Structure 1
C-alpha cells in the first residue's frame, strides 16, 4: 500500500538534477550540547545519535545547529564548522549516514544575542548567559541590548561586522561541502541572529538592515545569496524560519511567507522548514499536537499561489508531529510536502520504520538498516 510519507521527494537544485530523498520523514536538527572539549568538533555521541536515525529509516538526517563562528554557538558545548580541523569528524558522521543509504544535512547557524548561554541540560542554569570566567563570551545582535530577559546585553553589529558574518556562513558552507553533506540549511529561526534581524521585537536599526520587511530580511537574503553562490549547484539549499513570534507586534507569518516567496522565486532556496517562536518567553505559544502545521500550510499555499510548487521548493512542517497518521494526514491534505521529526525521534530513533509499519507499508519496503530485519517491523513476529 502506497503511503505519501514513504514516497520519495526531490529537493530541487539549480542545475536541474534535483536530490531525491527516499522518504518524506526528515530528522529535525536538535542540539545535543555534547562537545565537552568546547572546540566544536563532533564526538562519538554525535555519531551514535545521528547514525541511529539513519539506521532507523529517516530519509534525511539534519545535524544540529552548527556554529559558523565560535562566538555564534548557542552554548560552549555546540558543534562548529568555523575551522578546518572540525571537518574530519563531520565527514565521519556523513560517511556513516551515507552507508545507511540516507542523506545528510547540516544546519548552519549563528546565535547572535542568544549565544554563550548555558546548555539545555539537567543541572545547568538554562536561559542565562555564561560569564567569561566560565568560558562564555560577549555577544552580538541586530541591535544593542539583551535579546531576552535574563541574557547579557548584546552589541549591535556594524555593517562591516555583518559582512564578516555573511563571509563566515560562506566559509562554513565550503567546509560542509568538504565534509560531504548533501544539504545545507540556514538557521533563521528560534530567536537566533538572522531571526533577530527579521523580527521587529529585536531589530531597532535605522540603516538598510532595519525598518521595513525588506530591510529586516536583508541579512537573510545576503546570507542565502552568498552561500548559494558557493554551495554546489547540484545540491539543495534550505532555510529554517520561525513563522511567527506569537505576539501582535512581532514577526508575522504573512511577512515570513513573502520573504520565502522571493527567495524561492529567485532560485536561492529549494527547501523551507517552518517552525516558530524563540524571541518571547513562550507564554503566548498555543503549543499542542501539530501546532505549527498551519504556519507551514500558509507558506505552502503562498508559494503555490505564486506558481512555486513542490517541483520548485519543498516545504516541511515541524513541531509536535508525533504519530504516523498525523504525519500522513499533513502530507495527503497538502499542508506540507514533508515532515521534520524532532522530539519523537529522540524518544525513538526508529520512528520512521515504526511509522511505515503503522501505515501498513509492505515489510520489504519499510526503511531500516538490514541488521534490524529480525526486529519484525510490519509483522507480528
Structure 2
C-alpha cells in the first residue's frame, strides 16, 4: 500500500491540516477503509479547540496543538434543524478536507430524540420519528457519494435497549440511519456500542443492541465514547463481540475504539470509588503525570493500531491488527461534561499529562 504524505503543514492557514494514517503491507485487515489515506483535521471557526489554539502562543499553543492539530470527530444532533443539517455537514467536511474527497472526514451522529435517560421513559412521537428520518437523509446528502468519511452513529448506544415495554422503535430508527449511511460507498460507519464495562463484559449484550440497530448494514461498531476504560480492555471485549456476531451469522465486522480520554484508564466503578460525589461525564482532568482516576488524552487518532509505542500487550496488538480499524477521538473531554463549552484549563491539563505527549501530530500517524 502506497505511502501518503502529510498533505499540508500545520502553519498553512489557507488549507486544512491533514495527517496520513497508513497500514503495513502485511496488514491482516486489508479492507480497512480508514488506512492508507489522510485524515482531515477540522480547522473551523465552529471548533473551539481550533480557535483556542489559534489564539494561543508559546508553550500553551504547543499543548493545545495536541488536541487542535489532531483528527477529531464533530458531533451533529437535534440542535441543528432539519433544514440546516445538509449545509452544516458540507461546511464542516470542506473545512476538514479542503474539498478533497479522498481525505477522511470524521463525524458523529447524535440525533435520537428522546435519548439517554429520557429514552427509558418515553418513545419518540410520530413527528419526532418523521423528523429523525428527514434529518438523516439530509445528513447523508451532505456527505455525498464521493466523500470518504468515518461516522460514529449514536453515542451511548445501549440506551436503545431501555425503551419502554421492550420497544424496538429506537433501534429501528438507528437501522434506518445505518442503511442510509451504509449505502454511501466511501463512508465507514460504526454503531456506538457503549463500552466493555457498560456491557458488563458480556458480548451478548452488545450483540443484542447491534443486531437490533442494523450493524449488518455498516462497517462495524465503536467502543468507549465518553468513557475512560483502557484501550486494551476495549480491544479484548470488541474481539469477543466480533466473534459472537460471527456465530450469529454476521462476518467481517470490525470496530473502532475511542481513545480521546483514556490516557490514564479507569472504570465506572473505580471512578465513583475515588469520587463519590463526582460527575462521570466530567471526570477531573489529570493535574500530574502520576495521578490516577482522572481524564487525560489517550492514544492519538490513527489507523496504526498495533504499534509498540502504544504499550499494548502482544496479544492485544494481534487482536487489534485483525479487528480494529482505528483509534478515534469522537469523545470530547476538553468540553465541559463533554458537551459545551470548551474549558481551556481542562484542555491544557490533559495535554500536559498525557502519556502519549511524545507522539506529536503527523509523527504519530506516518510510520508503518
TM-score (structure 1 length as normaliser): 0.52
Name the residue aligned to 2:319: 333
Residues matched between the structures, number? 268
What is the CA-CA distance between 1:269 and the residue it aligns to?
0.4
Alpha-carbon distance change, 159 to 176 in structure 1, aligned in 2, over 3 angstroms: same
Partner of 2:253: 313
Question: Is residue 315–residue 336 contact of structure 1 (8 Å, CA) maintained in 2?
Answer: yes
Q: How far apart, in 2, do the equivalents of 1:68 and 1:349 lie?
A: 38
- In structure 2, the partner of 1:220 is 174
Output the CA distance in 2 between the equivalents of 1:306 and 1:88. 40
Unaligned runs of 5+ in 1: 13-17, 36-40, 73-79, 116-139, 145-154, 279-284, 357-364, 368-381
**1:254 corresponding residue in structure 2:** 204
Question: Match of 2:265?
Answer: none
Is 1:142 the counterpart of 2:147 in the alignment? Answer: no
Q: 1:199 aligns with which of 161, 164, 169?
A: 161
Please report how far the alpha carbon of residue 184 of structure 1 lies from its aligned counterpart in structure 2 after TM superposition: 4.3
Distance 1:195 1:188 in 2: 10
Mapped partners of 2:245, 2:361: distance in 1: 28
CA contact (8 A) 2:179 2:214 kept: no
The answer on whether the counterparts of 1:189 and 1:275 sit within 8 Å (CA) in structure 2 is no
The counterpart of 2:80, out of the listed 70, 87, 92, is 70
Aligned to 1:275: 224
Matched, 1:189 2:203: no
* Aligned residue runs from structure 1 range 42-61, under 5 A: 42=47, 45=50, 61=71
| 3-state DSSP of counterpart to 1:333 | helix
Q: Taking structure 1 as reference, are residues 258 and 240 closer, same or farther at Cα in structure 2, changes over 3 Å only? A: same
| 2:6 equivalent in structure 1 | none
Alignment check: 8 A CA contact 1:188 1:239 kept? yes
1:43 CA displacement: 6.9
Distance across 2 between alignment mates of 1:235 and 1:341: 15
Give the Cα separation in 2 of the matches to 1:183 and 1:88.
Answer: 14
In the TM superposition, 1:74-85 aligns within 5 A as 82=85, 84=87
Contact 1:271 1:315 in 2 (8 A): yes
Corresponding residue number in structure 2 for 1:38:
none
Change in 2 beyond 3 A, CA 1:107/1:81: farther
- Are the equivalent residues in 2 in contact too, given 1:243–1:252 (CA < 8 A)? no
- Cα offsets for 1:84-113 (capped at 9, x unmatched): 2663343122228x59x8522212222646
Provide closer, same or farther for how the CA distance between residues 106 and 328 of structure 1 changes in structure 2, counting only shifts above 3 A: farther
TM-score by length of 2: 0.53
- Quick one: distance in 2 between partners of 1:328 and 1:26? 27
Partners of 1:156 and 1:93 lie apart in 2 by 35
Q: Mark the runs of 5 or more structure 2 residues left unpaired by the alignment.
A: 1-20, 55-64, 263-297, 300-308, 334-346
Provide, for residues 122-146 of structure 1, a one-character-per-residue CA deviation record: whole Å limited to 9, x for no partner. xxxxxxxxxxxxxxxxxx94354xx
* Pairing 1:109–2:75 present: no
Question: Following the alignment from structure 1 to structure 2, what is the Cα–Cα distance between the partners of residues 67 and 327?
Answer: 37
Note if contact 1:62-1:105 (Cα within 8 Å) is conserved in structure 2.
yes
Equivalent residue, structure 1, for 2:35: 21
The 5 Å alignment of 1:125-164 reads 141-144=118-121, 156-164=123-131
**Counterpart Cα distance in 1 of 2:318 and 2:242:** 13
- SS of the equivalent of 2:105 reads strand
Assess if the C-alpha contact under 8 Å between 2:153 and 2:189 holds in 1: no
